[in-house]
A = this chain, B = another copy of it.
Amino acid sequence: MRTVNLAEKFGRFRERWQPKIAGEINDSYVKLVKFAGDFVWHHHDREDELFLVLGGTMRMRYREDGREVEEMVGPGEFIIIPHGMEHCPASATPDEEVQVMLLEPKTTLNTGNVQNERTRPVLDRI
């Protein structure tokens, strides 16, 4: 079976802020992640990132032309953050869990140019 059921995959883990690899396409991975609360402001020098929300509502802040922008991204919506853009993913409310499918090059480190306790250099497959 090549078919991947997203709900079934999300049911297999509970850890937050730890993306899991659910597929491989060309030089990119499809990753699944759960989170609540705020991440860290960061950017990726070379990699664009796609965030497709599947559950909950994500609050994505980013900096564009010197100002900070905030968008709410709900289920069935995606946002692409181009390389070089500072951004900070979060859940819309502190306690609401968000479920997101990410698509990004295999070289992408989750915290981009920042290294902290949230950095995950090695990801599990699911």
Q: What separation, in Å, do the CA atoms of A113 and B66 have in the docked complex? A: 46
Interface residues of A in 42-80 (CB under 8 A from B): 47-50, 54, 60, 62, 71-73, 76-80
Q: What separation, in Å, do the CA atoms of A7 and B75 have in the docked complex? A: 10
Q: What separation, in Å, do the CA atoms of A60 and B1 have in the docked complex? A: 11
How near does chain B come to A51, taking the closest CB pair, in angstroms? 9
**Which chain B residue has the least Cβ–Cβ distance from A73?**
B3
Give a binary string over A1-31; 1 marks a CB under 8 Å from any B CB, 0 the rest. Answer: 1111111000000000000000111101010
**Which chain B residue has the least Cβ–Cβ distance from A23?**
B80
Q: Does A103 contact B (CB under 8 A)?
A: yes
Question: Across the interface, do B80 and A6 meet the contact criterion of CB distance under 8 Å?
Answer: no
Other contacts beyond A3-B78, A5-B77: 5, CB < 8 A: A1-B71, A2-B71, A6-B78, A30-B80, A103-B103
